[in-house]
Structure 1
Amino acid sequence: MDHLKSARQTIPPLFTHPSKFLSLYSNFITKNQSSVTQIESALRSLTYIIPGRFRDAELASESLHSSIQLLSMYHDTLLTRAVSKLPGMPRAQSPHNRYTKFWMVKSGMYRKVATLLAVVQYTELLWEMMAKRKGEKIRWRVVVLLEVVKAVCRFLLLRITHSRPLVTPALPEREVIPDEREDEEEELFEDEGYGGSEASGPGSGRRIEPKEYKMKRTGLSLPVLPNPSDISSYLLSRVLTADDIKAPSALLNKVNGSAQLAEILHIIQPVIYAIAMSRSKDKSNWQPWLLGLSIEYAARQLRKDGLRTTALEREQWGKRGWAMGWWAMRGAFYENVTKGFLHKTSEKLPSLIAGVLDDYLYLWDGYYFSSSSN
């Protein structure tokens, strides 16, 4: 017993109280958001630059990439909580974040399904790589299964949101937390007065930037006074649009009729295409590619633009339009057209750039999810 007691005393307090460790980690991420974001971007860029540099270690490379994506998603959750607790007047948010945050708060089921969908999307290529080591048959079973899981998640989101179109991503995007001023600057600002002015001390030529005045009793912040020489830009930046005053749920209209059929086709298209590819013996066969593209094109044609189309709807359909460009990197079109062009281009490029392109060609040649946009 004495040995156990002494051993327990040697364990750092953070390991005996995981909640304290998580709290400290959350505070660190919140206070160092810019540095954490830069580190994430650097690591993510590294995995992009050398996706298949070590052919035998592709699994380790993709594991690193997936881990960074999942960690970044956890950081987004921590930062979203921190932003919601900030005192002062409500901060401007994008329509996408307003909409997704509304459903995250209103429906616990939405939060769970959206999180599961994001996790599958971040790890799908890793699962395919592991399955491929067991053989092509197992690989395609895993691919179809993952597409079915994603389709089920999207149908659930469609039902939870009462037949509103899907948004990409289904989770809120990262928001910037305002940097805190140094205490010395705050004291100097208070001495100079609200609104900001030229420093009056001898030898001081620097201008004190305007800062929101925080009321001590209520914790609310008063807006910064505008620059007298730029009143028009100040007023235009504060003009409310129709979407700004809408309820978050009204940022997307409910779909019905042909629009609902278009949304259903958009959801099931990846499943049908994956099944067709799994049954095709020849990668150059045009039938699966034409089938998948036809369903996606039919979904776009069935969707009708009306006078009540919101800005968020136009944004999401714009994303889907750009995503259709990935059909040039899939199936028969890639095997018969794009692949030969890229290989010829690689031969004419400098060795460093050609090496990176060859790494991506290795992924596009062998993996279904390397060119997936869903």
Structure 2
Amino acid sequence: MTTSKPLPSKLPHALTLPPKWLSLYSNFIQTHQSSVTQIESALRSLTYIIPGRFRDAELASESLHSSIQLLSMYHDTLLTRALSKLPGMPGQQSPHNRYTKFWIAKSKFYRRVATVLAIVQYTELLWEMMAKRKGERTRWRVIILLEVIKATCRLLLLKITNARPLVTPALPEREVIPDEETNSPPPEDEEAALEAELEGRSPSPSQQNYKMKRTGLSLPTLPNPGDISSYLLSKVLTADDIKSPSTLLNTMPRTALLAETVHILQPLVYAIALSRSKSKSNWQPWLLSLSLEYAARQLRKDRDSLQTTALEREQWNKRGWAMGWLAMRGAFYENVTKGFLHSTSERLPGLISGVLDDYLYLWDGYYFSTSSN
């Protein structure tokens, strides 16, 4: 009786495959950044215009939308990691990205909390849709739980950054990774240079692309004579470019810290008040939310010891525009905006009216559909 030889174990080889695949995927994302970004935008736009998106297939389409957002966030992480390995000047990054990258590199806890906050923001409407199928009571419990998680994350970020204002988003935004094609002239310049050569004229300085013989590297093209000022200004470092990333936002005094805390807790207070209201047309929750946001902005103005930075002004402009979503929420929407939008939908062409009706169905029935936090 012959004994069969034990087969060689394939487990070690199988364990090496996932990291290898992830590495290949990461390299693909980095080398095809523009194509990946276009595909993400196309898929994200498709989820907005799918007929009946918020009716028959609302859960499936919102699942697709949330998945695209999460995948895009993962791609941002890969591209940020690749970009951090490239040599570059601070001025090539936005103040927001310099600030958030600083705290991600300094504190792993900041990165984890900011990631959790982003995941909740990308999936909150999906969780609400799933909870609504279990009943209104379950739906409001899930809404309040998600608002508690977001408020907790923001308070933790406030603590980690030593009482500095919150930035939106808390993670770095996507940046373009320069490649070899960046130094090559655009197609229109190549055509103009070819036409000049055929006509016996010398190409203009902006159309010339000098290539060094020994290294093979191409020098950047010269600007057009009329754009020299803007070209030089784009190369000048500003005061924020040479600042330390931690100083792009100043530490807040007590009054401003109280205002920031009120701003963080405002969505939670509004959700609790709205869940206890018996009617959507009740003005009390909406007025409470507006009062808290207004109080936060008024308290924030008392900053004699704090000099406003460019990044801080940018974030406060974002918050000012975000207050416009109050017109799509609560009693103001039910008593004012809703009637106007429904009457407008009746006068629009069929295709546009159908898309607007789908959004009206979303705004009528879901809390997070108009959330700006």
- Please classify the TM superposition score into its range, dividing by the shorter chain length: 0.7 to 0.9
2:361 and 2:26 mapped to 1: Cα distance?
A: 39
1:279 and 1:182 mapped to 2: Cα distance?
A: 57
2:212 and 2:155 mapped to 1: Cα distance?
A: 47
Question: Which residue does the alignment assign to 1:370?
Answer: 369
Secondary structure at the residue paired with 1:235? helix
**CA shift digits 1:265-310 (9 cap, x unpaired):** 0000000000001111111111111011110111011112667100
Q: How does 1:157-168 map to 2 (within 5 A)?
A: 157-168=157-168
What amino acid is aligned across from residue 281 of structure 1 in structure 2? Answer: K
Residue 180 of structure 1, CA deviation: 2.1
Q: How does 1:273-352 map to 2 (within 5 A)?
A: 273-304=270-301, 308-352=307-351
Q: Contact 1:212/1:224 (CA < 8 Å) preserved in 2?
A: no
Change (3 A) 1:89 1:272: closer
What is the number of residues matched between the two proteins?
357
Residue 172 of structure 1, CA deviation: 0.1
Residue 233 of structure 1, CA deviation: 2.8
What amino acid is aligned across from residue 234 of structure 1 in structure 2? Answer: Y
Residue 52 of structure 1, CA deviation: 4.3
Secondary structure at the residue paired with 2:180? coil
**CA shift digits 1:121-180 (9 cap, x unpaired):** 000000000000000000000000000000000000000000000000000000001232
Q: Contact 1:50/1:359 (CA < 8 Å) preserved in 2?
A: no
2:31 and 2:65 mapped to 1: Cα distance?
A: 25
What amino acid is aligned across from residue 318 of structure 1 in structure 2? Answer: N
2:135 and 2:167 mapped to 1: Cα distance?
A: 35
Question: Which residue does the alignment assign to 2:24?
Answer: 24
Residue 223 of structure 1, CA deviation: 7.2
Q: Contact 1:83/1:177 (CA < 8 Å) preserved in 2?
A: yes
Where structure 1 has 5 or more consecutive residues not aligned to the other structure, the ranges are: 187-197
1:222 and 1:308 mapped to 2: Cα distance?
A: 41
Select between 107-116 and 203-212 the one with higher mean Cα deviation.
203-212
Question: Which residue does the alignment assign to 1:120?
Answer: 120
Q: Contact 1:212/1:222 (CA < 8 Å) preserved in 2?
A: yes
Question: Which residue does the alignment assign to 2:62?
Answer: 62
Secondary structure at the residue paired with 1:17? helix
Question: Which residue does the alignment assign to 1:252?
Answer: 249
2:328 is the counterpart of 1:354 = no
Q: Contact 2:209/2:220 (CA < 8 Å) preserved in 1?
A: no
Select between 265-274 and 87-96 the one with higher mean Cα deviation.
87-96
Residue 316 of structure 1, CA deviation: 0.2
1:302 and 1:120 mapped to 2: Cα distance?
A: 28
Q: Contact 1:51/1:360 (CA < 8 Å) preserved in 2?
A: no
Question: Which residue does the alignment assign to 1:33?
Answer: 33
2:239 and 2:140 mapped to 1: Cα distance?
A: 47
Q: CA RMSD in A?
A: 3.3
Q: Contact 2:131/2:139 (CA < 8 Å) preserved in 1?
A: yes
1:138 and 1:236 mapped to 2: Cα distance?
A: 56
Where structure 2 has 5 or more consecutive residues not aligned to the other structure, the ranges are: 186-192
Question: Which residue does the alignment assign to 1:236?
Answer: 233
What amino acid is aligned across from residue 83 of structure 1 in structure 2? Answer: L
What amino acid is aligned across from residue 71 of structure 1 in structure 2? Answer: L
**CA shift digits 1:303-358 (9 cap, x unpaired):** 12667100000000000000000000000111111111100000000010000100
1:308 and 1:212 mapped to 2: Cα distance?
A: 47
Residue 257 of structure 1, CA deviation: 2.1
2:174 is the counterpart of 1:174 = yes
Change (3 A) 1:213 1:97: farther
Q: Could you tell me the TM-score, scaled by structure 2's length?
A: 0.86
What amino acid is aligned across from residue 59 of structure 2 in structure 1? Answer: L
Residue 214 of structure 1, CA deviation: 12
Secondary structure at the residue paired with 2:162? coil
Change (3 A) 1:199 1:161: same
Secondary structure at the residue paired with 2:372? coil
2:8 and 2:35 mapped to 1: Cα distance?
A: 39
Residue 84 of structure 1, CA deviation: 1.3
Question: Which residue does the alignment assign to 1:156?
Answer: 156
Secondary structure at the residue paired with 1:53? coil
Change (3 A) 1:284 1:94: same
Change (3 A) 1:200 1:90: farther
Residue 45 of structure 1, CA deviation: 0.5
Question: Which residue does the alignment assign to 1:134?
Answer: 134
Change (3 A) 1:153 1:52: farther
Residue 90 of structure 1, CA deviation: 5.6
Secondary structure at the residue paired with 1:39? helix
Change (3 A) 1:362 1:201: closer
Question: Which residue does the alignment assign to 2:189?
Answer: none
Residue 201 of structure 1, CA deviation: 11
Secondary structure at the residue paired with 1:298? helix
Question: Which residue does the alignment assign to 1:195?
Answer: none
Q: Contact 2:90/2:98 (CA < 8 Å) preserved in 1?
A: no
1:326 and 1:200 mapped to 2: Cα distance?
A: 53
2:350 and 2:251 mapped to 1: Cα distance?
A: 52
